[in-house]
Structure 1
Amino acid sequence: MKNVLVLGAGQLARMMDLAGTPLNLNIKAFDVRTDQVVHPLANEHSYGDLQTGIDACDVITAEFEHISHDVLAKCEASGKLLPSSEAIKIGGDRRLEKALLESCKVANAKHVIIESRDDFDNALNTLALPIIFKSALEGYDGKGQWRLKDIAQADAIWQDMQQFVEQANTSVKQGIVAEQMVPFDREISIVGARSRTGEIAVYPITENHHTNGVLSVSIAVNVDPSLQQQALEVFTKLTEKLDYVGVLAIEFFQVGQQLLVNEIAPRVHNSGHWTQQGTDCCQFENHLRAIVGLPLGNTELIRPTAMVNILGEDSVPEQVLAIPGVAMHWYNKQKRAGRKMGHINICAASERQLAEKLQQIAGLLDQQAYPDLQQFADKLEHRLA
């Protein structure tokens, strides 16, 4: 049995534990809020502080990228951290992320790094409207973002961003990245794993739909081989540059037949949750396989699958579970508006049947809690008609 310590004690650590038990892996999680090592499924059980956890484990990994650099340094010094602290820091800082993309000559949105008012003015002169401004640190699920569509709004947005930066409570100085907004056709992602020996296995690219900046639906169906190859090439470039070990997710904007990287996540990812039912070896198991030195598992799509995020709700109608091919995954969280409480995976024998099941589920779920699920289901069904 090998012992794994996960930095972070949220739902991703929880799902790693569920995937690791059949592999005879003992998973513990470091709760950054309490500075205690806990059980991923029962956070009330404590096993000591970070150093105790480091000493007791064989390998350390992370479920999120916004981790104190002091914690990362301590874990890196142990020689047990995978992926590296460099990769985790890049995933948590858009400035470092952009530098990585540029160094690998990977296509991404035109951008300007903003540290001062002069940089802000330069962004206005360099980029065409509309422009999106994103916080360099701790921006996720649509938070820490500003959209400039009218130049008359520029001063107000600058003042708001300046206040945001000044009030930031981050271990590294906060900053802003300005990006040219991309008129994309759709948002997609690729999730894949790289082993200690450099073996790479990627899942099929996934189409993602967002509601108010938060992922609401991901769908995995048969994909265009040329787009899959393009995404694989980007994945390979980035992971080889970082000598990466573990699962990495890359989000893209698709513009025609070109993929532009939006952002990367050095961890298992929300858009890969469908792999729990849609593949032989899910992203959580493959991440663990990679970091402990086991062979990577099969990542082929075995049946069309969709994932629906449950946001701010702690129940769904029982009729949903009566639909064949539906699996529920709850995170054991207290209900809060907008919070990721769980997800629903839906599998089908064909893409058309998957669209029909999404229609059925959209009709059962509260339209206020899932405001555009019906619209997405209609769009998918129309596309397949």
Structure 2
Amino acid sequence: MSVVVYGSGQLAQMMYLAGAPLGIDVQAVDVNTDTVVHPVSKTPLDTSLSQALESADALTVEFEHVPERLLDEAAKTGKLMPDIASILVGADRVREKKLLQSMGVANCMHRIVTQLDDLDACITELGSRLILKASRDGYDGYGQWRLTDESELPSLKKSLASLNLEVVPLVVEKMVDFDRELSLIGVRNKQGEIRTYPLAENLHHQGQLHVSVAPATEVNEALQTQAHDIFVTLAEGMDYVGVLAVELFQCGDKLLVNELAPRVHNSGHWTQSGSVTSQFENHLRAVCGLPLGDTSAIGPSAMVNIIGCGSFSRELLSIDGSHLHWYGKSVREKRKMGHINVTAPSYNALGEKLTALSQFLPLEYFPKLTEEANRLKG
């Protein structure tokens, strides 16, 4: 079987590695050059894009910001999974909010803004503590602004004055006093079979995910079921095929959807070591029409992102249960360079292993590591 992935970054690489044992050949598309490349070496392959699309059993994406001309071309083959409408929901927060509203899925109170003067009405309706998000092309904290007091509004308007909000509207959300950030990775195949993973707890710094712990601590059956039901509503309502990540705010015993990602997701990397079947394998199974794999956790695990850091001791591999995933990129500030998965028999043992891990890393690049290690140790 053959799968073509639009995008040639680390997610395509990890899909390739997951597909090899199944006999699924994964090729990647450099969407900047329309070139078919090897997902690991990035070497151009001796095949054109049209030839690759014709011979593939399935087409998919590693990120939602694929040029629409390429998505249109892929959609015409009838092999694109998830479908183009689902991918575009992940690329446009206005579409995303409309989808959540249409399906009755709880999310943050918000307004869509196409004129700066509409911000005054947002304060009247939503209050003076707001998060403003560009509806397209914003990620990892980029394309976001905060308003914490009405007195800041004139300054905020000045900083936004150069934006064309008619072309790229703002989604203005009421700032939520949530207890913590969670995410659910789920998967649905072409036959409609659905499986979801245990909830993961996510710690962010400056808008980027730094540490995920799964299964999240202090999750009862009712909360996991609520998350599962949200996924089922979305996946069935969208006729979705593949892995879908649902980012959530926990507010007491209620979950609000923050964002959707129509693809394998950073907060699901823990599944490579911490679950029976990784999100990458299950995504390939889903788009190829194969039965889905077991999504159970095999024990507590953590995923630690390596961000903007290229120098650390590989002796971290001396820690039992630690696994390094290096992406082979050139170092750049705020760039995801790789991640480390750590598994343990208990949360306390996981905290001890994260403390040990900190001895091999420059902690200025890992601002959440010690905090999370101490929390898990109680």
Distance in 2, Cα, partners of 1:42 & 1:317: 24
User: What whole-Å deviation, never above 9, does each CA across 1:148-187 have from its counterpart, x for those lacking one?
Assistant: 1122221222232241337xxxxx9312100001011100
8 Å contact 1:362–1:377 — kept in the other structure?
no
> In the alignment, does 2:191 pair up with 1:197?
yes
Match of 2:333 in 1: 337
Match of 2:108 in 1: 109
8 Å contact 2:188–2:195 — kept in the other structure?
yes
Letter in 1 for 2:349: Q
More deviation, 153-162/83-92: 153-162
8 Å contact 2:347–2:376 — kept in the other structure?
no
Distance in 1, Cα, partners of 2:52 & 2:29: 8
8 Å contact 1:218–1:307 — kept in the other structure?
yes
Match of 2:220 in 1: 224
Q: Equivalences for 1:58-137 in 2 at 5 Å? A: 58-137=57-136
Where 1:42 maps in the other structure, the secondary structure is coil
User: What whole-Å deviation, never above 9, does each CA across 1:215-249 have from its counterpart, x for those lacking one?
Assistant: 00000136321111000000000001100000000
Match of 2:365 in 1: 369
Q: Equivalences for 1:159-178 in 2 at 5 Å? A: 159-165=158-164, 173-178=167-172
8 Å contact 1:47–1:53 — kept in the other structure?
no
8 Å contact 1:135–1:176 — kept in the other structure?
yes
Match of 1:311 in 2: 307
With structure 1 as the length reference, what TM-score do the two structures score? 0.95
> In the alignment, does 2:144 pair up with 1:145?
yes
Match of 1:158 in 2: 157
Report deviation, 1:261: 0.4
Identical amino acids, percent of aligned pairs: 47
Match of 1:188 in 2: 182
Distance in 2, Cα, partners of 1:353 & 1:296: 31
Letter in 1 for 2:82: P
Distance in 1, Cα, partners of 2:117 & 2:192: 43
Where 1:9 maps in the other structure, the secondary structure is coil
Q: Equivalences for 1:213-362 in 2 at 5 Å? A: 213-221=207-215, 223-362=219-358
Distance in 2, Cα, partners of 1:190 & 1:74: 31
Distance in 2, Cα, partners of 1:162 & 1:96: 24
Where 2:236 maps in the other structure, the secondary structure is helix
8 Å contact 2:211–2:368 — kept in the other structure?
no
8 Å contact 2:351–2:372 — kept in the other structure?
no
8 Å contact 1:92–1:138 — kept in the other structure?
yes
Report deviation, 1:68: 1.5
User: What whole-Å deviation, never above 9, does each CA across 1:181-212 have from its counterpart, x for those lacking one?
Assistant: 10111000000100111110110000000011
Structure 2 residues not aligned, in runs of 5+: none
8 Å contact 1:193–1:201 — kept in the other structure?
yes
> In the alignment, does 2:52 pair up with 1:53?
yes
Report deviation, 1:378: 1.6
8 Å contact 2:203–2:368 — kept in the other structure?
no
Distance in 2, Cα, partners of 1:334 & 1:155: 40
Distance in 1, Cα, partners of 2:68 & 2:169: 17
Count of aligned pairs between the two proteins: 376
Distance in 1, Cα, partners of 2:325 & 2:163: 35
Distance in 2, Cα, partners of 1:270 & 1:210: 12
Distance in 2, Cα, partners of 1:237 & 1:173: 30
User: What whole-Å deviation, never above 9, does each CA across 1:73-124 have from its counterpart, x for those lacking one?
Assistant: 1111111100000000001100000011111111111000011134322212
Distance in 2, Cα, partners of 1:16 & 1:256: 36
Q: What do you get for the CA RMSD once the two structures are aligned?
A: 1.4
| Runs of 4+ with deviation above 4 angstroms | none
Match of 1:211 in 2: 205
With structure 2 as the length reference, what TM-score do the two structures score? 0.96
Letter in 1 for 2:123: L
Where 1:209 maps in the other structure, the secondary structure is strand
Report deviation, 1:49: 4.2
Distance in 2, Cα, partners of 1:156 & 1:118: 13
Match of 2:15 in 1: 16
Where 2:162 maps in the other structure, the secondary structure is helix
Letter in 1 for 2:112: I
Where 1:44 maps in the other structure, the secondary structure is coil
